Amino acid sequence: MYKKSRLAFNNAKEKIPGGVNSPVRAFKSVNSSPIFFKKGIGSKMIDIDDNEYIDCISSWGPLIFGHCNNEIIKSVNEAVINGATFGACTPIETEMADKIIEYVPSIEKVRMVNSGTEATMSAIRLARGFSKKELIIKFSGNYHGHGDSFLIKAGSGAFTLGLPDSPGVTKNTAKDTLTAEFNNLDSVEKLFIENSKNIAAVIVEPIAGNMGLVIPEKGFLEGLRNLCDTYNSVLIFDEVMTGFRVSKGGAQELYGVNPDITTLGKIIGGGLPVGAYGGKKDIMDMLAPEGPVYQAGTLSGNPLAMSAGLTTLKMLDKNIYLKLEEISNKIQAGWEKNIKETNTNACVSRVGSMMTLFFTNKKSIRNYNDALECNTTMYAKYFKLMLDMGIYLPPSQYESLFLSSVMTENDIEKLISSNKKALEILKNE
């Protein structure tokens, strides 16, 4: 069933570290071998063995309109005819900026970059330059890309100075990052009290998507806003995943909390590599050439990514989000019914078209420690069962599904029936 994929993986391992260009693709978390794909159309992906799958990842978020949307393809084709990149200014960059500012409540100016990681790295440098402070607070279980400042673990507790979480990250870099607990304002306040004059920024996924989907509890985001205001620190929302995904204005529109800086990615590239960060005018004007904080990029704002992203943003309207909610709600309701009927220790967490099924005896997951207690062995078995039934899920318990607006009623029914069959098999093992 996966013969060609296995051969392709063996070949890739000879030339590419681990055989992959991003670690989660190696399928190690699900004790399996990765699938290699050749085509995507609508809600489906086809692998090199000609197996077809319902895609529940949407390239980790960007493909809100599914694979090979005609309008997006048309815009990219028209752009590439005139030049893929100039390393110079083009009007479409300003058009993209206009659209982002129109949609996102807190953004007055925006700078385009080439990835979510580049956006978050640049955002914390800007926050430090603006505040003239050095320390950053992040949260256990939040992921902000592979920048050195973010690959930090919590040390001996949530209130301690960070330690490097990867070889190659220096202790001097790690000491400038403090780690708090998601959905725990007390842990954040304690760090502020202990370092009251030197915290430049708090960076948070307003809806966590990298320990599985974890929803912010009532008052958590508002509390972060208040603490940053009290201590004159910058609040950064990492909306690389949630921006334009959970609503047109992202999580900040959904929860009514405005950050000082927002990082974006995924959907604003329409499937092409992209990132952005934006915020209040007085903060953004600290960037070179206007101000002293340096950041640059040869391919930033390139016409292909801007064309695909702008076309995507223009297609977003109220009906798209209503459709996504209808699709996602049906799948969640079906899966929760299956969980109850099969008496499985599991729960489903969802905001809009982002969703995670956790194998746990808890009613909900509220932080990283809760997530770590999930049954990853069970998830690995579940993943493989669903894969064999033509459902492509995240190859890790700690990732979110990203559902697309092109999923059909047949897709929904298959997702629900396959889920029930998989849970029944697991129960009878």
Which residue among 2, 143, 379, 398 is the active-site one? 143
Which is catalytic among the residues 99, 133, 266, 381? 266
In the set 148, 176, 238, 260, the catalytic residue is: 238
What is the spatial distance between Cα 177 and Cα 163, in angstroms, rounded to a whole number? 9
Sign, Cα dihedral of 101, 103, 106, 110: negative
Phi, psi of 201 (to 5 degrees): -160, 155
Is-catalytic flag, 238? Answer: yes
Tally Cβ neighbours within 10 Å of residue 17: 10
- Whether 103 is a known active-site residue: answer no
3-state secondary structure string, the chain? Answer: CCHHHHHHHHHHHHHCHHHCCCHHHHCHHHCCCCCCEEEEEECEEEECCCCEEEECCHHHCCCCCCECCHHHHHHHHHHHHHCCCCCCCCHHHHHHHHHHHHHCCCCCEEEEECCHHHHHHHHHHHHHHHHCCCEEEEECCCCCCCCHHHCEECCCCCCCECEECCCCCCHHHHCCEEEECCCCHHHHHHHHHHCCCCEEEEEECCCECCCCCECCCCCHHHHHHHHHHHCCCEEEEECCCCECCCECCHHHHHHCCCCCEEEEEHHHHCCCCCEEEEECHHHHCCECCCCCECCCCCCCCCHHHHHHHHHHHHHCCHHHHHHHHHHHHHHHHHHHHHHHHCCCCCEEEEECCEEEEECCCCCCCCCHHHHHCCCHHHHHHHHHHHHHCCEECCCCCCCCEECCCCCCHHHHHHHHHHHHHHHHHHHHC
Distance CA 296, CA 428 (A): 56
Instruction: Based on the residue annotation, tell me whether 411 is a catalytic residue of this protein.
Output: no
Cite the active site residues: 143, 238, 266
